[in-house]
């Protein structure tokens, strides 16, 4: 049982998860800029590992010629421009919402519950997809270098998810430190690769890639629709830049400034890497392939197949991707807890585990991502159409929220400060410019989202388009439930009457043994009158119980409730109803025994009657159930030890 583990200070759980941290420690668990960059940038930067490739895969539908695949360059430039717009817009959000300005909070603060829940549903969906896509792509990098591992890619992917889950259950700072190394390692290998490639290209020494088995070459026309589809696929590069604005509270003070600086750094690096990879891919004439990633083709061509640097590139890319999933491990539980504390998700999600993290959310995320990986066969291309819609939906909502927010700022008098729900709102002379930027950003991301929905509808986007409204509906159902419960429990205007009422205490007796003695002992200790009740399933046993009761307990009344249909709970319920009729408005107090065992399987061999009774009685008004545990496990241990000793004695006797 779980309790056995928590009891033991040197338990497996503690060994794996580390010791629990105090609430005060929360304030100290803050990330410096370089570590925050590593934690929050891994998602955004890692998308450079597949974004270019996904553009090429779509373009390949119109053929594998250099001119066709070359369209990837203007497409990538357009994506980079979009990225710059979104970055500037999000920078404003970070300053306006220093306590965390994710789309959920901005929408809730400015647009109301419905847009907030839509943003929440979109973001939660995308956190899961981030894990699934990143891990799948990471495994694809590994199998590019080691094709013999390809058949096991699902197992590898789920194994990696499991490891990341354990690391995250340990808490965020330690994760930060763990993840700093891979992020900077990736950055280093990419700069080295692109730099070496650039120099070799300038020297006229860079060959084109050889021995690639490309995807099936399509014969479609190179229509605007196809280019837009390529653009949609490549826009996956933008996922992850919202991570910082969701996680501002994890930064060291001054939070907003540190977060904004980190965001600029991250976006800058992202633009350079994404354009660099796309240009280099074109330079070496990389081909989209199911067996080898574009990054692998670049590394192999730049450094040569047998160079240790090639393996370093693969390792760095795989690592950043596998670690990118970590962004979601920080973001998903945090957002889920936020929505849960607003009453739109189950309350359990707000519990912090022993290590200051939201254990429930982390485990849920890991499970859902694992299912997605298994269903999508660990192939990035299957997941990409589901991806990014949610991100762009939340971008759009967030920026519309900022437009409303900035209109509010514009209404203030110069120098005026108003206390908003989330943070103080200060007059800003530049509010018109900022509003224009946010509005332009919202327009761009909104249009891009529409392009996604249309160009990818049949290849999977429909699923997300159905899923998000469904999630929002469920969130509101949950919210309504909690609201109703609060209303039902409210004491406002209700007279509080706690004057004592009559109590009839019943001891439920199955047989007469040590557990029964314990129950009788407790009932007598309460000092309230009681009687024992036995449900008579078997006439022979009834007689035995009656006799044993006389011999061993010898006091109190033993009532036999007949059960002609051999049911346990029904006759008991009828008997209680009868007692309640005799004494209306009183409590009926049922005392039951519980044998506490050491292991699940032992417990399962005894979990019979109590479950049935509890089910039946828990729905009766004014019927209170008391469970008297008998710690039989200590007795059982003595008996086992005795058996062992006798066994050894016997063996010795034989000699």
Q: Which of residues 607-646 bind its own copies (CB under 8 A)?
A: 608, 615-616, 618-621, 623-636, 639-640
What is the token pair recorded at 111? 């647009």
CA–CA gap between residue 510 and residue 532 (Å, rounded): 10
User: Quick one: which of 252, 407, 513, 646 contacts its own copies (CB under 8 A)?
Assistant: 513
Of 332-391, binders to its own copies (CB under 8 A) are: 346-348, 351-352, 354
CB of 176 to its own copies, least distance (A): 21
User: Quick one: which of 12, 27, 224, 487 contacts its own copies (CB under 8 A)?
Assistant: 487
Q: At residue 19, what are phi and psi to the nearest 5 degrees? A: -80, 155
User: Quick one: which of 148, 205, 213, 497 contacts its own copies (CB under 8 A)?
Assistant: 497
For its own copies, the closer CB: 1 or 199: 1
CA–CA gap between residue 123 and residue 331 (Å, rounded): 9
The answer to whether 575 contacts its own copies (rule: CB under 8 A) is no
CB of 649 to its own copies, least distance (A): 18
Of 38-67, binders to its own copies (CB under 8 A) are: none
Closest CA to 593 of 630, 552, 555: 630
CB of 487 to its own copies, least distance (A): 5
CB of 499 to its own copies, least distance (A): 7
For its own copies, the closer CB: 305 or 555: 555
Question: Which DSSP state fits 170?
Answer: T
- Report DSSP letters for 93-112, one per residue: HHHH-TT---HHHHHHHHT-
Up-side HSE of residue 36: CA atoms within 13 Å toward CB? 29
The answer to whether 574 contacts its own copies (rule: CB under 8 A) is no
Closest CA to 468 of 149, 163, 115: 115
- Report DSSP letters for 235-263, one per residue: GGGGTTTTHHHHTGGGBPSSHHHHHHHHH
CB of 494 to its own copies, least distance (A): 7
Strand, coil or helix: 342: coil
CB of 520 to its own copies, least distance (A): 5
- Report DSSP letters for 41-84, one per residue: HHHHHHGGGTHHHHHHHHHGGG-S-HHHHTTHHHHHHHHHHHHH
The answer to whether residues 239 and 448 touch, using CB atoms and an 8 Å cutoff, is no
Closest CA to 535 of 518, 558, 514, 560: 560
Give the contact letters, 553-572, x = binds to its own copies (CB under 8 A), - = no: x-x--------xxxxxxx--
Please choose, out of 127-135, 165-173, 198-206, 600-608, the segment that lies near its own copies by the rule CB under 8 A: 600-608
CA–CA gap between residue 308 and residue 319 (Å, rounded): 16
In angstroms, what CA-CA distances link 208 with 56, 72, 285, 296? Answer: 16, 17, 6, 13
Q: How many residues bind its own copies (CB under 8 A)?
A: 91
CB of 557 to its own copies, least distance (A): 15
CA–CA gap between residue 470 and residue 330 (Å, rounded): 24
Of 177-206, binders to its own copies (CB under 8 A) are: none
For its own copies, the closer CB: 181 or 624: 624
User: Quick one: which of 501, 541, 644, 646 contacts its own copies (CB under 8 A)?
Assistant: 501
User: Quick one: which of 10, 12, 15, 22 contacts its own copies (CB under 8 A)?
Assistant: 22
The answer to whether 502 contacts its own copies (rule: CB under 8 A) is yes
CB of 153 to its own copies, least distance (A): 25
Cα(first)–Cα(last) distance of the chain, in Å?
41
For its own copies, the closer CB: 131 or 368: 368
For its own copies, the closer CB: 411 or 528: 528
Closest CA to 82 of 376, 401, 448, 365: 448
The answer to whether residues 523 and 530 touch, using CB atoms and an 8 Å cutoff, is yes
User: Quick one: which of 148, 489, 581, 654 contacts its own copies (CB under 8 A)?
Assistant: 489
For its own copies, the closer CB: 247 or 343: 343
Of 461-480, binders to its own copies (CB under 8 A) are: 478
Please choose, out of 10-18, 376-384, 397-405, 483-491, the segment that lies near its own copies by the rule CB under 8 A: 483-491
Please choose, out of 57-65, 176-184, 237-245, 598-606, the segment that lies near its own copies by the rule CB under 8 A: 598-606
For its own copies, the closer CB: 305 or 557: 557
The answer to whether 552 contacts its own copies (rule: CB under 8 A) is yes
For its own copies, the closer CB: 18 or 159: 18
Of 521-550, binders to its own copies (CB under 8 A) are: 521-522, 524-528
CB of 545 to its own copies, least distance (A): 13
User: Quick one: which of 211, 216, 490, 652 contacts its own copies (CB under 8 A)?
Assistant: 490
CA–CA gap between residue 552 and residue 544 (Å, rounded): 12
For its own copies, the closer CB: 152 or 351: 351
What is the token pair recorded at 352? 């912090």
CA–CA gap between residue 140 and residue 379 (Å, rounded): 8
CB of 652 to its own copies, least distance (A): 22
The answer to whether 84 contacts its own copies (rule: CB under 8 A) is no
CB of 552 to its own copies, least distance (A): 5
The answer to whether residues 53 and 293 touch, using CB atoms and an 8 Å cutoff, is yes
Please choose, out of 111-119, 140-148, 387-395, 520-528, the segment that lies near its own copies by the rule CB under 8 A: 520-528
80 Cβ neighbours under 8 A, 6+ residues apart: 271, 274, 275
CA–CA gap between residue 168 and residue 181 (Å, rounded): 16
User: Quick one: which of 66, 605, 641, 648 contacts its own copies (CB under 8 A)?
Assistant: 605
For its own copies, the closer CB: 4 or 210: 4
Please choose, out of 79-87, 226-234, 440-448, 518-526, the segment that lies near its own copies by the rule CB under 8 A: 518-526
Q: Would you state the torsion angle of the CA atoms of residues 46, 67, 208, 319, taken in this order, to the nearest 10 degrees?
A: 10
For its own copies, the closer CB: 417 or 639: 639
Identify the H or E element spanning 654.
helix 632-654
Please choose, out of 17-25, 185-193, 262-270, 327-335, the segment that lies near its own copies by the rule CB under 8 A: 17-25
For its own copies, the closer CB: 68 or 504: 504
CB of 369 to its own copies, least distance (A): 22
Closest CA to 130 of 438, 440, 365: 365
55 Cβ neighbours under 8 A, 6+ residues apart: 72, 75, 76, 230, 231, 233, 234, 278
Question: Which DSSP state fits 337?
Answer: H
């Amino acid at each position: 049982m779980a309790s056995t583990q928590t009891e033991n200070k040197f338990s497996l759980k503690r060994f794996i998860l580390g010791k629990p941290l105090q609430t005060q420690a929360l304030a100290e668990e803050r990330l410096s800029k370089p570590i925050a960059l590593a934690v929050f940038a891994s998602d955004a930067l890692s998308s450079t590992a597949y974004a270019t490739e996904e553009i090429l895969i779509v373009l390949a539908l119109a053929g594998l010629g250099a001119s066709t695949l070359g369209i990837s360059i203007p497409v990538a430039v357009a994506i980079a421009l979009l990225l710059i717009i979104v970055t500037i817009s999000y920078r404003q959000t970070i300053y306006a919402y220093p306590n965390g300005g994710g789309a959920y909070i901005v929408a809730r603060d400015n647009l109301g519950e419905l847009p907030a829940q839509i943003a929440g549903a979109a973001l939660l969906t995308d956190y899961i997809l981030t894990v699934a896509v990143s891990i799948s792509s990471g495994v694809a990098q590994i199998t590019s270098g080691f094709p013999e591992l390809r058949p096991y890619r699902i197992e590898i992917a789920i194994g990696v998810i499991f490891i990341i889950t354990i690391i995250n259950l340990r808490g965020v700072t330690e994760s930060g430190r763990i993840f700093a190394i891979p992020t900077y390692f990736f950055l280093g290998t990419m700069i080295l690769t692109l730099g070496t490639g650039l120099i070799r290209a300038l020297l006229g020494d860079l060959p084109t890639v050889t021995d690639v088995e490309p995807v099936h070459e399509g014969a479609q026309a190179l229509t605007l629709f196809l280019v837009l589809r390529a653009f949609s696929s490549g826009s996956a590069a933008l996922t992850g830049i919202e991570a910082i604005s969701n996680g501002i509270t994890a930064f060291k003070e001054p939070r907003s400034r540190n977060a904004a600086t980190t965001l600029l750094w991250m976006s800058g690096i992202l633009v350079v890497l994404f354009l660099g990879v796309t240009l280099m891919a074109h330079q070496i004439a990389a081909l989209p392939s199911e067996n080898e990633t574009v990054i692998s083709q670049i590394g192999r061509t730049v450094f040569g197949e047998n160079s240790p640097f090639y393996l370093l590139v693969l390792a760095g890319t795989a690592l950043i991707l596998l670690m990118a999933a970590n962004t979601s491990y920080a973001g998903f539980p945090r957002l889920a807890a936020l929505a849960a504390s607003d009453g739109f998700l189950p309350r359990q999600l707000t519990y912090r585990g022993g290590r200051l993290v939201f254990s429930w959310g982390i485990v849920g995320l890991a499970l859902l991502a694992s299912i997605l990986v298994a269903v999508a066969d660990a192939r990035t291309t299957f997941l990409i159409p589901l991806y990014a819609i949610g991100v762009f939906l939340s971008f759009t909502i967030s920026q519309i929220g900022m437009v409303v927010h900035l209109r509010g700022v514009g209404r203030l008098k110069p120098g005026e400060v108003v206390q908003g729900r989330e943070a103080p709102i200060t007059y800003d002379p530049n509010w018109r410019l900022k509003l224009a930027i946010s509005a332009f950003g919202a327009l761009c991301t909104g249009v891009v989202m529409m392009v996604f929905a249309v160009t990818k509808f049949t290849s999977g986007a429909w699923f997300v388009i159905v899923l998000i409204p469904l999630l929002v509906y469920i969130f509101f159902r949950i919210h309504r439930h909690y609201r109703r419960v609060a209303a039902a429990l409210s004491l406002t205007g209700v007279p509080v009457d706690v004057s004592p009422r009559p109590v009839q205490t019943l001891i439920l007796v199955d047989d007469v043994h040590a557990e029964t003695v314990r129950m009788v002992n407790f009932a007598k200790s309460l000092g309230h009158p009681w009687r024992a009740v036995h449900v008579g399933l078997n006439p022979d046993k009834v007689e035995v119980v009656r006799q044993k009761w006389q011999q061993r307990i010898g006091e109190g009344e033993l009532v036999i409730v007949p059960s002609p249909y051999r049911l346990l709970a029904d006759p008991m319920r009828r008997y209680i109803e009868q007692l309640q009729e005799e004494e209306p408005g009183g409590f009926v107090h049922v005392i039951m025994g519980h044998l506490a065992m050491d292991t699940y399987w032992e417990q399962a061999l005894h979990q019979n009657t109590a479950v049935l009774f509890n089910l039946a009685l828990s729905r009766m008004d004014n019927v209170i159930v008391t469970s008297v545990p008998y710690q039989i496990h200590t007795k059982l241990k003595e008996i086992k030890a005795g058996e062992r000793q006798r066994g050894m004695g016997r063996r010795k006797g034989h000699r």
